[in-house]
């Protein structure tokens, strides 16, 4: 099959392209640096010519409320329109576990809007909701930093390696459309403040981690299970404290 990966040169997309090629598919990385711009439509029709599946793992360059909504609505709308013109039979998109419970956040309102566009488009689709990536540990700590302390709500989460995310994406994308949402998560649950209290020293970060029930996640309040899968999620195989990148190196 010809499978076009929107965001195919990024963290997840590049891994997905490699995995699909390893399965014998023609995987095309579509991104601005390969001549495909989903916001303007540049190169989109050419990339989708003859495509069987489109995989969208792109993300907004800005998380500001209006900008992120504009990105996901415009980009997704352009991709779906191009798919109809090209006769693509399967649209896949990657989203986030708990999106529907995080609607105080502009970012997650935008992701919810993206999902609605896909469901209402008439194009057969599959949606995968994934938990937080191990690779985002540093960015999450930065977001919670206040001086010499890092604040996290003492709630449960179940992070996973991008390698496991890409494996799940490639498997679903190469199969028939599900026309529903499935969830993937890491193999272990942690309380967020306790996790970062152990994880940050591995990166040479000696800041104090504070359990703060009022700390928000992308602007949204968190309950005990907001970030956990709802039901029977597919679990990854890679455990954080055995993951080679746990020291902050790029893996």
Task: Note the pLDDT of residue 113.
Answer: 98
Task: Note the pLDDT of residue 231.
Answer: 80
| Helix, coil or strand: residue 48 | helix
Pair type for strands 125-130 and 190-191: unpaired
Pair type for strands 149-152 and 145-146: antiparallel
- Average pLDDT estimate for 39-68: 97
Q: State what percent of residues in the chain have pLDDT above 90.
A: 97
List the single range of 35-49, 118-132, 237-251 with lowest mean pLDDT: 237-251
- Average pLDDT estimate for 89-95: 98
- Average pLDDT estimate for 167-195: 98
Residue 221 has pLDDT above 70, yes or no: yes
Q: Of 33, 8, 223, give the one whose Cα is nearest residue 94.
A: 8
Mean per-residue pLDDT of the chain: 96
Residue 251 has pLDDT above 60, yes or no: no
Torsion, Cα 247 58 234 133, to 10 degrees, reads: 20
* CATH fold of 2-247: Rossmann fold (3.40.50)
Q: Please, which pLDDT band fits residue 249 given cuts at 50, 70 and 90?
A: confident
Residue 247 burial by CB count (10 A; 0-12/13-18/19+): exposed, middle or buried? Answer: exposed
């Amino acid at each position: 099959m010809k499978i076009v990966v929107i965001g195919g040169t990024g963290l997840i997309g590049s891994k997905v392209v490699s995995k699909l090629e390893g399965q014998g598919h023609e995987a095309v990385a579509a991104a601005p640096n390969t001549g495909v711009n989903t916001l303007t439509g540049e190169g989109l029709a050419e990339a989708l010519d003859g495509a069987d599946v489109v995989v969208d793992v792109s993300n907004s360059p800005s998380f500001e409320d209006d900008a992120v909504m504009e990105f996901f609505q415009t980009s997704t709308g352009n991709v779906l329109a191009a798919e109809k013109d090209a006769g693509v039979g399967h649209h896949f998109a990657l989203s986030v576990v708990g999106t529907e419970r995080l609607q105080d956040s502009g970012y997650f309102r935008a992701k919810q809007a993206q999902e609605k566009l896909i469901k209402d488009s008439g194009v057969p689709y599959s949606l995968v909701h994934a938990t937080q990536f191990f690779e985002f540990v540093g960015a999450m700590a930065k977001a919670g930093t206040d001086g010499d302390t890092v604040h996290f709500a003492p709630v449960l989460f179940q992070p996973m390696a991008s390698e496991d995310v890409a494996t799940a994406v490639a498997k679903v994308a190469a199969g028939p459309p599900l026309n529903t949402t499935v969830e993937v998560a890491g193999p272990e649950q942690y309380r967020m403040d306790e996790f970062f209290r152990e994880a940050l020293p591995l990166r040479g970060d000696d800041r104090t981690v504070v359990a703060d029930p009022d700390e928000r996640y992308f602007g949204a309040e968190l309950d005990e299970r907001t970030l956990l899968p709802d039901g029977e999620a597919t679990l990854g195989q890679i455990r954080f404290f055995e993951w080679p990148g746990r020291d902050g190196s790029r893996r």
